[in-house]
Chains A and B, each alone.
Chain A
Amino acid sequence: MSNKGIGRRGLVKTGAALSAAGLLAPTAGFAQSNPVKIGQIDSTTGNFAVLGQSQIAGAALAVAELNKKGGILGRPVEIYVEDDAGSPSTGLDKAGRLVDQENVDFFIGTVSSAVSLSLSQFAAAHNKVFMCSGGHVDKLTGPSCNWATFRVCSTTWILTSGDSKTLVEKFGKKWYFLTTDYAFGHSEQADYTKQVTALGGTIVGGALVPVSTPDFSSYLIQVKEAQPDVLCLLLAGDDQINAMKQITQFGINQTIKVGGALFELEQIAALPEAARYGVWTFEWYWNQPGVPHVADFVKRYVAANNGKYPSQRSWFGYVSVHALALASEKAGSTDAVKVAKALEGLVLPPEIALQPGAPAFRAGDHQLMLGMFPGEVIQTGTYPNLMQIYGVVPGASLALPESATGCSLTYPA
């Protein structure tokens, strides 16, 4: 079994889709033939599959675009996608394979925080730049940061800051948390608590819910008793969907405003109409009238993906690949340390950033200062028009200062 076939197979699939959409012009000849290889570790099975698949689709689109324009440094780009099944040991096994057998130059991907943390360690140990597309855990660009790891998606602090002010000002000062009992949930809650109390709000109660809880009735009973103004839902993936359905069933959302941080387009689409409500922070949204390049990107993505619209996850994947390409061109090489240094301070051009403002990767913690898109779910909306965005808030104004993140970077000698 030829191992190179995987990369080609992935490209061929995208190529077929793209050519069907008339996007694949005769490819420019490549100056050199040895490919630049990107390893993408993402979930195609398991709880994060639907998010991982969007990230994969976004990355695939970027790879196809790069190859159409001559590749990276004149070399064709190949992307190897491996399933982490949401499990760090599987992710590590695949990463090992990609390094030892395919000799990939870069890593991108991950949705699960656990996988991103373990891959981050692995990448640094093996001298490969890891562009974390979708793992949100704060410490990845905080105390556990390292020179090889960069992140496209936001930190928990940026995410929660995106709508905390809006929620307090518009809906009320008494907050109640329903948080999934894992690290990401804890960070969200801690961050919101700091922000809300700084705005004069009070936390009237909270409950930690085990992962994969099917039934929220006991928790919702407590919520009703506490009578908050805002119910802040910080639940993992499917749990959030369940909770929202049950909240509607119990009529809680009629008297209490529901909101939170991370809630994805893919998840909203999975909700029955009655359960579509709430104020959330998106990290990117496809509908940005008046912002150049966005509509074009959306059109290309839709054509390549059978009518599916790009979500923030798609954008993460897309940016991950393009950022690496830009940095390699800037550094004139694919050497990990050089690319890392080139990524520091790299500003995304408008056709990649696809938002107002100019997000850049911070040198101090390698975190992209992406804009936040807080908004409200449109109850009667039909896919893809599911969110009413209030506006875009630049990430740099929300993020913790570099000195406060706890990150200190040391490059290999």
Chain B
Amino acid sequence: MLLDIVFNGFNGLIVGSFYALMAIGLSLILGLNGVINFAHGGFMALAAYFAFTLVPYVGFWGALVIAPILAGGVGFIVEKLIIQRLYTRDPLYSLLATFGLALIIQDMLRTIWGAQGLPLAIPDFLNQPVSNTYFFVTGYRLFVVALAIISTAGLFAILRYTRLGVRIRAGNADLETIAALGVNIYLLRSANFVLGIMFAGLAGILAAGQLGLTPTMGDQLIMPAFVAIVVGGVGSLLGSLLGGLIIGVASGITTAFYPAGSEVVIYIIMGVMLVARPRGLLGQEGLLE
């Protein structure tokens, strides 16, 4: 039994870092743009489909780099056309707008690429288990974990050491002031949105490598990402990482005891967190009240 828990826990960490990657983009957008991006899953799927189309030309690695950028481009257009008008309004409107956007994206994916599931080819050497006892640790899963860590670190570095990063952090604290100080907040918000979408794109491609592509794939990925942010703490990227890991592990361990509860448990954790400590583990108090 103990072995079961350890196995499942370890495995949960792997799944969790996957959730974390998804949550990071969502958290970025929630932070500076103040938008609950219900279309996040849609962008994840969009990037995956772009990757699918690109792989025959540039291979998996090329697609991994280019597809998120393409998705980011679409995100840029969306931000300029739609989201930008909604900043001054109640968060309800941007939520509904992204909700509608999610519907449109899913439909467009189905119309353009068809309803059938499509496989995304990942490099063969990644497709093997690393060892026999730890058979569930495949090269690919390690790769996902590694990428999650690297990109979070990379994002952290951007936020810490680049001008863009400093501005994003300052903007999170007080947008009006930095606008007064001469920062182009329109551009800043666009850049932030695109960055968040690119993370979604990355997560989407990695997911597709494991799960394949369907037009509805965004739906099942968005809720855990949501929960990860709330648990880890809004406004904290390290928190999103942590949140993702926690719900991954919780879900994994619950599967060992009571598989039927493995989804409900993440909502229970979220519920408890919201009631007891709504800022989340590492979030800032009152950030979104």
Contact = CB atoms under 8 A, between A and B. Distances in A.
User: Are A and B close enough to touch in the complex, i.e. CB under 8 Å?
Assistant: yes
B220 A214 contact: yes
A242 interface: yes
Tell me which of A212, A221, A242 has the highest count of chain B C-beta atoms within 10 A of its own C-beta. A221
B225 to A, nearest CB: 12
Interface string A185-208: 000000000000000000000011
Contact of B15 (A45, A46, A217): A217
A249 B129 contact: yes
A269 B117 CA distance: 8
Contacts of B121: 272
Contacts of A250: 129, 135-136, 138
Interface string B132-158: 000110101100000000000000000
Interface stretch (B92-100, B171-179, B186-194, B255-263): B255-263
Contact of B119 (A207, A217, A272): A272
B12 A218 contact: yes
B259 A219 contact: yes
Tell me which of B8, B140, B212 has the highest count of chain A C-beta atoms within 10 A of its own C-beta. B212
B44 to A, nearest CB: 12
Contact of A220 (B128, B136, B211, B260): B136
B42 interface: no
A36 B116 CA distance: 32
B221 A222 contact: no
Interface string A218-231: 11111011000000
Contact of B116 (A213, A252, A269): A269
Tell me which of B110, B214, B255 has the highest count of chain A C-beta atoms within 10 A of its own C-beta. B255
A263 to B, nearest CB: 12
Given A210-B262, A217-B136, A242-B211, A270 B117 contact: yes
Contact of A241 (B117, B220, B256): B117
Given A270-B117, A270-B212, A249 B110 contact: no
Given A45-B107, A251-B129, A218 B119 contact: no
A250 B138 CA distance: 7
Contacts of B11: 217-218, 221
A266 B115 CA distance: 10
A245 B211 contact: yes
A242 to B, nearest CB: 5
A262 B260 CA distance: 22
B8 A218 contact: yes
Interface in A47-62: 47, 49-50, 53
Contacts of A271: 119, 212
A386 to B, nearest CB: 13
Interface in A268-285: 269-272, 274-275
A274 B127 contact: yes
A6 interface: no
Given A214-B221, A221-B11, A271-B119, A246 B260 contact: no
Interface string A246-269: 101111100000000000001101
Contacts, number: 108
B207 interface: yes
B262 to A, nearest CB: 6
Contact of A245 (B115, B141, B212): B212
Interface residues of A, number: 42
Contacts of B8: 218, 221
A329 interface: no
Nearest to B140: A249
B110 A241 contact: no
A221 B4 contact: yes
Given A218-B11, A245-B210, A245-B211, A208 B259 contact: yes
A166 to B, nearest CB: 27
A210 B260 contact: yes
Contacts of B4: 221-222, 225
A45 B210 contact: no
Given A214-B211, A220-B136, A45 B110 contact: yes
A218 B261 CA distance: 13
6 contacts: A49-B115, A50-B115, A218-B252, A221-B4, A221-B7, A270-B212
A209 interface: yes
B108 to A, nearest CB: 12
A231 to B, nearest CB: 14
A220 B256 CA distance: 11
A274 B8 CA distance: 25
Contacts of B119: 270-272, 275
Nearest to B248: A215
Given A49-B110, A249-B127, A266 B116 contact: yes
Contact of A212 (B14, B220, B255): B220
Given A210-B263, A218-B11, A222-B4, 15 more contacts: A44-B115, A46-B216, A47-B214, A208-B259, A218-B262, A238-B211, A238-B212, A241-B211, A242-B211, A245-B211, A251-B129, A267-B117, A270-B116, A270-B117, A271-B119
Contacts of B12: 218
Contacts of A269: 116
Contacts of A245: 210-212
Tell me which of A249, A271, A274 has the highest count of chain B C-beta atoms within 10 A of its own C-beta. A249
A44 B114 CA distance: 10
Interface in A135-166: none
Contacts of A224: 135
Interface string B1-26: 00010011001101100100000000
Nearest to A212: B220
Interface in B1-58: 4, 7-8, 11-12, 14-15, 18
Interface in B195-221: 207, 210-212, 214-216, 219-221
Nearest to A270: B117
Interface in B234-289: 252, 255-256, 259-260, 262-263
